[in-house]
Chain A
Amino acid sequence: QQPVQSPQAVILREGEDAVINCSSSKALYSVHWYRQKHGEAPVFLMILLKGGEQKGHDKISASFNEKKQQSSLYLTASQLSYSGTYFCGTESGTASKLTFGTGTRLQVTL
């Protein structure tokens, strides 16, 4: 079953923060985050493995709460280049079978 993301869409002014949530009905082994720009392929951002770790690079970070089967992506001081659709991908049970969420469209404006 497809993980559910929220919000579906968000518009930010440059410099503002955003949080994107990903929720699954299944026990998760890992959560992947990808960003896709219009007309391009999804690009890997980060992976979080079972264990509740938090990861991040630059101003983008993520957390994984395996008990709640949820992950959140944090975008801090957003830049125009952050615009795109963000997908979470979850692995549960069968290793390497990545099921993508519904997507969150993020637009950063001046």
Chain B
Amino acid sequence: DAGVIQSPRHEVTEMGQEVTLRCKPISGHDYLFWYRQTMMRGLELLIYFNNNVPIDDSGMPEDRFSAKMPNASFSTLKIQPSEPRDSAVYFCASTWRGVDTIYFGEGSWLTVV
């Protein structure tokens, strides 16, 4: 199995630009999570989906952040407009409830200058 695939792995963008992060979960998994990791706040859950439906987006910091899951094999996290404080590593993860183990992608390292 290829695991959870994220792109881009690294992105440097200017403040005000739109950023789109992409994720392909493990085939057959019905839960998808977006996490953000920073030194100050650790690993924060932003939003998660079950069967492509957003279940809890209470962790999304503000309206500049949005996430979609148009089908079972693809999800995006969009930041518009981006700000320097959005600089972080964004992890996508997936699981199948029957297994409970959550598998993480390798992360997207975002730097907003």
Contact = CB atoms under 8 A, between A and B. Distances in A.
A41 B103 CA distance: 9
A85 to B, nearest CB: 9
Given A40-B106, A41-B91, A103-B42, A96 B50 contact: yes
Nearest to A30: B100
A44 B101 contact: yes
A65 interface: no
A97 B50 CA distance: 11
B91 A47 contact: no
A87 B105 contact: no
B42 A100 contact: yes
A97 B100 contact: no
B100 A47 contact: yes
B106 A96 contact: no
A44 B103 contact: yes
- Size range of the chain B interface in the assembly: 20 to 34
Interface string B22-66: 000000000101010000001111001010000110000000000
A96 B42 contact: no
Q: Of A87, A95, A97, which is in contact with the most chain B CB atoms at under 10 Å from its CB?
A: A97
Contacts of A96: 31, 48, 50, 55, 95, 97
Interface string B68-100: 000000000000000000000001000101001
Contact of A2 (B31, B35, B42, B105): B42
B106 A41 contact: yes
A97 B97 CA distance: 11
B12 interface: no
Given A47-B100, A94-B55, 14 more contacts: A2-B42, A32-B100, A32-B102, A41-B91, A41-B105, A42-B91, A42-B104, A47-B101, A97-B45, A97-B55, A97-B56, A100-B43, A101-B42, A103-B43
Interface of A: 2, 30, 32, 40-44, 47, 87, 89, 94-103
16 contacts: A40-B106, A41-B91, A41-B105, A41-B107, A44-B101, A44-B103, A47-B101, A87-B43, A94-B56, A96-B31, A96-B48, A97-B48, A98-B33, A98-B45, A100-B35, A100-B42
